[in-house]
Amino acid sequence: MKLWTGRFKKELDPRTNDFNRSLPFDSRMYRQDIMGSIAHAEMLGECEIITKEDSLKIVEGLKGILADIESGKLQFDDVSEDIHTFTEGELTKRIGDAGKRLHTARSRNDQVALDIRLYLRDECDTLVEMLKELVGVIAEKAEQYSETVMPGYTHLQRAQPIVFGHQLLAYAEMAMRDIDRIGDCKKRMNVSPLGSCALAGTTYPLNRQSVAEKLNMLGVTRNSLDGVSDRDFVLELASALSIVMVHLSRFAEEVILWCSGEFKFIELDDAFSTGSSIMPQKKNPDIAELVRGKSGRVFGDNMALLTAMKGIPLAYNKDMQEDKEAIFDAVDTVEKCLSAFTPMLDTMRVNAANMRKAASFGFINATDCADWLVGEGLPFRDAYKATGELVARCIELNTSLEDLPLDEYKKVCERFNDGVYIAIDLEKCVRDRTVYGGPAPSEVKRQAAELKLRLAEI
Ligand code: ARG
C-alpha cells in the first residue's frame, strides 16, 4: 500500500523504494505497532471520533493480523514501505473502509516514536533479566571462591593479595550499575508520544492518557514537537549498552588471560571453547574474544546514533529511520554476548593451586611488611624504603619475603623480629583486610550474600 496517493502522478522508482523502505528491519516491531494501533483505535471509539462499531472492527482486524503474523500465515512483503504501512494496508484489505479510519488523528511520526519506545521498553526487561543472571552466577562463584587466594594486579603486575571471589564481585558491581542504568533509561522512554501526530498535535478531542494507560506506559510526552523528534531514549540505551560492553569486554580480557598457559588460573569447559583446524593441542577462548571484539560494534552503533541525530532540525526527518538498525544491533549484540558469556563463566573450572602459587611470587605482601614496620613505630615512608631494600635483596638471592632469613631483615632495619613472618603470611594478609568492600574471605562472603538479597529486590 502506498500512503501518499492523491498528490503524486508517478509510482515510486523501484530503486528509490528499496532505498527508502524500512520494513526489512522494522517488521520486528509488528507486535508493538499492532498493540499501539489497538490502543489508539479503542480510544478513538471511546472519544467518539470514530464509531464504536468501526473501532471494534479495527481492533478485531488487528488481532487477526497479529495472530496470522505469529503463526506464519501472514508474511511481510517486498514492497511495503514500513511496518505501519504494511499493517494498515493489510487491515484495510481485511475490513474495508473501517481500516482507513485507523489513522485518524495519528501520523507515522508519532506511531514510530511509540513503537520503538514499546519495543525497547520490553528489551530493557530482557537485558535486565540477562544481567541479573550474570550477577547470580557471580554471586555463587564469589561464595565458592571466597577463600581462594590470588594476586590482585595493577599495571598487570602482581600487587596485593586478594581472593578470587573478590575479583569476581567487582564485575558484579559493574553489572548491578548496568541494571540500574537500563532501568532508569526505561523509565524515561516509557511514555506515549501518540497525539503528537505529525508534529503539531491535532484538533480531534483525543484522550492521550488513556492510550498510555492501555499500553502500560507511565504517562505521555509533554510537547508534540519533542514527542516525535526525541530519540534521546535510544541514545541513552545505546550509551548504557556501550558501558555494558566495556564491562563485559574487560571481563572477557581477564578470562582470556586467566586461561592462557602463562596464568593457568582457570580452564573453560569444552562446551564453551573451540579448537584449531591445524594445531591439535589448541583450546581457544573464542567466546571471550568475540565478546571483547563485539564491544566495537556496540560503540559503533552508539556513535552512528549520535551522529545521525546531531544536526537534524525539529521535528521528524527521515534521518531518524536510521535509529532502528543501530539500536537493534546494539541490543541484539549485548543479548547474544550475555547468552554465551554467562554459562561460559558458570562452567569454568578454577585452578586454586595456580592462583595461590602466583600469589607466592611477586612480593604481594610487601605492603603488609611495611605496615608491620609502621606498627613497630617507623614512619610509613621509612618502612616503605626498608621494605623496598628487602625486596631488592630477595631478588638478588632469588627468594621470597617469607623465606628471607631474619638476619637479612635485620641488616636492613634493626626493628625486625620474628613477628614479621606472621604479618606477611599471605592468608593472614587477606584475612585481615576486613575493611568494608575489602577482600577478606569473611567480607567477600558477606558481600556475596548481600548481593543475592539485592538481586532479589530488583
Ligand atoms: N519508517 C519511518 C521511520 O522509521 C516511519 C516514519 C515515517 N514518517 C515519515 N514522515 N516519512 O522513521
Tens digit of each residue's pLDDT (9 = 90 or more) over 99-119: 999 999 999 999 999 999 999
Where the chain has pLDDT below 50, the residues are none
The pLDDT value recorded for residue 83 is 98
Q: For ligand 1, is residue 231 a contact (CB within 6 Å)?
A: no
pLDDT tens profile 158-200? 999 999 999 999 999 999 999 999 999 999 999 999 999 999 9
Task: Calculate how far, in angstroms, residue 70's C-alpha sits from the geometric centre of ligand 1.
Answer: 24
Is residue 155 annotated as a catalytic residue, yes or no?
A: yes
Q: Which atom of ligand 1 is nearest to the CA of 116?
A: 4
Backbone angles phi, psi at 419, to 5 degrees: -55, -30
Task: Calculate how far, in angstroms, residue 45's C-alpha sits from the geometric centre of ligand 1.
Answer: 26
pTM for the predicted model, two decimal places: 0.94
Q: Which atom of ligand 1 is nearest to the CA of 316?
A: 10
Catalytic residue among 260, 276, 339, 442: 276
DSSP per residue, 64-133 = HHHHHHHHTSS---SS-SSHHHHHHHHHHHHHTHHHHTTTTT--HHHHHHHHHHHHHHHHHHHHHHHHHH
Q: For ligand 1, is residue 22 a contact (CB within 6 Å)?
A: yes
Q: For ligand 1, is residue 321 a contact (CB within 6 Å)?
A: yes
The pLDDT value recorded for residue 1 is 58
With a CB cutoff of 8 Å and minimum separation 6, the contacts of 85 are 1, 2, 3, 23, 108
Q: Which amino acid residue places its CA nearest to atom 4 of ligand 1?
A: 321
DSSP state of 320: G
Task: Calculate how far, in angstroms, residue 318's C-alpha sits from the geometric centre of ligand 1.
Answer: 6
Task: Calculate how far, in angstroms, residue 141's C-alpha sits from the geometric centre of ligand 1.
Answer: 48
Q: Which atom of ligand 1 is nearest to the CA of 22?
A: 1
Vertex 250 angle, CA 309 and 151, to 5°: 155
Catalytic residue among 84, 107, 155, 239: 155
Give the DSSP H/E element, type plus range, for residue 163.
strand 157-163
Is residue 276 annotated as a catalytic residue, yes or no?
A: yes
Q: Give the torsion sign (CA, 180, 182, 114, 83).
A: negative
Q: For ligand 1, is residue 108 a contact (CB within 6 Å)?
A: yes
What cell does 422 get? Answer: 606472621
Q: For ligand 1, is residue 320 a contact (CB within 6 Å)?
A: yes
Q: For ligand 1, is residue 34 a contact (CB within 6 Å)?
A: no
Euclidean distance between CA atoms 146 and 163, whole angstroms: 6
